Amino acid sequence: MERPVVVKRMNLWWGPPKNFSDRTSERKISWLELFYDLAYVAVISQLTLHLANRPAWSTVGWVILLFALMFWSWTNGSQYYDLHGSDGIRTRAFTFLQMLAVCAVAISIPGVFQGHHRPFAIAFLVIQSLITYLWWSVGLYDPSHRVLNVPYSVNYCLAFLFLFASLFTDAVLARGLWVAATALNITPALVGARRIVGVLKTRGQVFTASAALVERFGLFTIIILAECILGTVSGISEVKDRQPAAWGAAVLAILIAFLLWSLYFDMTSEQETKEGYGYMLCLIYLHYPLLVSLSIVGACIKVMLLDMGAGVSATVQWMFCLAITAILFMIVGLTRIMREEEEDRSYIRPVSKLLLVVGSLFPIIPLSGWRPGTLTFLGLTAALLSLPVIVGIRSWARFKFK
CA distance linking residue 85 with residue 87, whole number of Å: 7
In order of 143, 208, 313, 382, the CA distances from 79 in angstroms are 19, 11, 40, 35
Number of H-type helices and E-type strands within the chain: 16, 0
In this structure, which amino acid lies at residue 25? Answer: S
Task: Please report, in tens digits, the pLDDT of each residue of the chain (402 residues total).
Answer: 444 444 444 455 566 677 666 666 567 788 888 899 999 999 999 999 999 999 999 999 999 999 999 999 999 888 888 777 777 788 888 899 999 999 999 999 999 999 899 999 999 999 999 999 988 888 777 776 777 777 888 889 999 999 999 999 999 999 999 999 999 998 887 776 677 777 667 766 667 777 888 888 999 999 999 888 888 888 888 777 777 888 898 999 999 999 999 999 988 866 788 888 888 889 999 999 999 999 999 999 999 988 876 778 899 999 999 999 999 999 999 998 888 776 666 778 888 999 999 999 999 999 998 888 889 999 999 999 999 999 888 877 776 676
Each domain of the chain, given as residue ranges in start order, spans 31-202, 226-400
SS3 373: strand
Of 320, 323, 339, the C-alpha closest to 209 is: 339
pTM, 2 dp: 0.89
Encode 137-172: b = buried (16+ Cβ within 10 Å), e = exposed. bbbeebeebeebbebbbebbeebbebbeebeeeeee
DSSP H helical ranges for 238-373 = 244-268, 277-306, 314-335, 342-361, 364-367
Query: Could you tell me if 144 and 166 are in contact, meaning their C-beta atoms sit under 8 angstroms apart?
Result: no
131 phi and psi angles, rounded to 5 deg = -65, -45
